[in-house]
Amino acid sequence: MRAVFAIANDTLTLLCRRRLFWLNIWLSVAVVLVVASMNCGKDGWSIGFGLRSWNSGYLIKGSIWEKTLFFGVVRRAALWWVAGAAPLLALFSLASVVPKTLKSGQAALLFTKTRGRSEVLLGRFAGGLIFAAIPALICVTGLFLTLGWRTGVWEPRLFFSIPFALLFFSVVAAVTVMLGVLTKSSSASLVVALIFASSVIALQDAAARPSAVDEEGELNGLVRASGGSFALQAIAWPLPRTQQLTEGMDRAIGLKSPRLFRELIRLWQVGNVHVGATAVEVLDATQELPADEVTPLKLGEAIMVTTGFCGMTLVAAALMLNRRDL
């Protein structure tokens, strides 16, 4: 196990010396700064620490829309940056690590000093995970502090976005590692892993969509719809549950807005035309928030299936590596 830690540490050192790592860190800081630069005053709200401001009758200090704004922005920052783009950037760095490790000159140095080849693979993967966790931790800590500073809401559950982000990352990282073993090419493994990830997201999204309901409230084309849906769900079942995990993460971080964020966006656009929205308009925009669709049980299943997929992919990679001549 010491060898696994040593290789994970080495992988982390290697990855942290790359420019992409610093780009990832600075972009994470930039995301936090953008969120922190937003502020609601008594006459409206501003961005860029007051650089650009808009008058508003509802988006003002202490209003429910202030929380809606910050909760919505922080949730999206967590989802799109922490669990989306930042792991993707980390993946670009990680993709070349395994193919380089398998090159003759490096393989001879590394694999002759470990008890099993899977130790090397596991160490590389673990190092990659820690590497992806660094920008996520920085960004989430920044968002947590910003949210507390701006709204007075100190929500520690925001940190739940990190394990979710790492779970998303571990899936594509495991696939990249396996493809790296298979092809020994960083670009090929990266491209195929990204295609795989996109396909899984699209497939899970399609499988999670409710069947269309016709005007009379019944399922439209019941046989066709259920047949297609069943087949999709069967294919999607063993694959990473991206849809459920995304919803689960949203639920886990606990930033339930008092109003729908998209309504705030709509109001803001309207508000730009009619400066200072009327109370009627604001009330019109308030809607009942939809109930959570992902139950803890479903989320648990999604986490288990996704973790299992990741583990099986790594086992497949280790088996392939063990059969290979280096």
| Contacting residues toward another protein, per CB under 8 A | 2-3, 5-7, 9-10, 13-14, 17, 103-117, 323, 325-326
Amino acid of residue 290: P
Residue 163, token pair as written in the block? 């394990």
Task: Give 2 or 42: the residue with its C-beta nearer to another protein.
Answer: 2
d(CA 300, CA 41): 42
CB atoms within 10 A of CB 167: 23
Taking the complex as a whole, the smallest distance from the CB of residue 325 to another protein amounts, in Å, to: 4
> Can you say how many angstroms the Cα of residue 286 is from the centroid of all Cα atoms in its chain?
28
Taking the complex as a whole, the smallest distance from the CB of residue 173 to another protein amounts, in Å, to: 19
Taking the complex as a whole, the smallest distance from the CB of residue 23 to another protein amounts, in Å, to: 17
Task: Give 295 or 322: the residue with its C-beta nearer to another protein.
Answer: 322
Taking the complex as a whole, the smallest distance from the CB of residue 118 to another protein amounts, in Å, to: 10
Task: Give 123 or 142: the residue with its C-beta nearer to another protein.
Answer: 123
Are 168 and 88 spatial neighbours (Cβ–Cβ below 8 Å)? no
Q: What letter would DSSP give residue 157?
A: G
Task: Give 42 or 323: the residue with its C-beta nearer to another protein.
Answer: 323
Are 128 and 186 spatial neighbours (Cβ–Cβ below 8 Å)? no
Strand partners, 54: 45
Task: Give 7 or 190: the residue with its C-beta nearer to another protein.
Answer: 7
Taking the complex as a whole, the smallest distance from the CB of residue 114 to another protein amounts, in Å, to: 6
The residue with tokens 């986490």 is: 303
